[in-house]
Structure 1
């Protein structure tokens, strides 16, 4: 499941989303149903003409919103830490610095 989040700028005075949410459901068999809080009395509609109105409204909202962020990879990134090489210490002894947390 892919979820895309877009944010509407606060300096936008008016946009089609102010009437309420827009919901569009398209099914694999080609049928669709949609509804909006501010259109068609908030009732679901399968009417192609009304669905087109909702699609245009949704497209306008997306166009006015900030672009979506790039996808986030939920897998943790591996971090490698390497111990610094020994450096010569006093009297010819090698001095190995301790890493943080080993003191």
Structure 2
């Protein structure tokens, strides 16, 4: 067994060194990114998508640009390994967002 810290421990260290204390997904290896809680706006967007709203409707409801919504959708797709928006919606519905 080695004393070398794992990816999650290294990421926590990096977050502490940066001073912000917030762990970012890019600090982790892809297999460990699920350990980081998504940004609150990303969660809200996921919930609205799970309800069937379009990207444009989500942007209008939250008062943000469609491009910003697209960025959050991209992060959600990466998080769930979803290749399509339909596949992402399937994953999100499975989490029972309401």
TM-score (ref. length: structure 1): 0.30
Larger RCO, structures 1/2 (Cα 8 Å, 6+ apart)? 1
Instruction: Return the index of the structure with the highest Cα Rg.
Output: 1
Which structure has more helix as a fraction of its residues?
A: 2
Which structure has more strand as a fraction of its residues?
A: 1
TM-score (ref. length: structure 2): 0.31
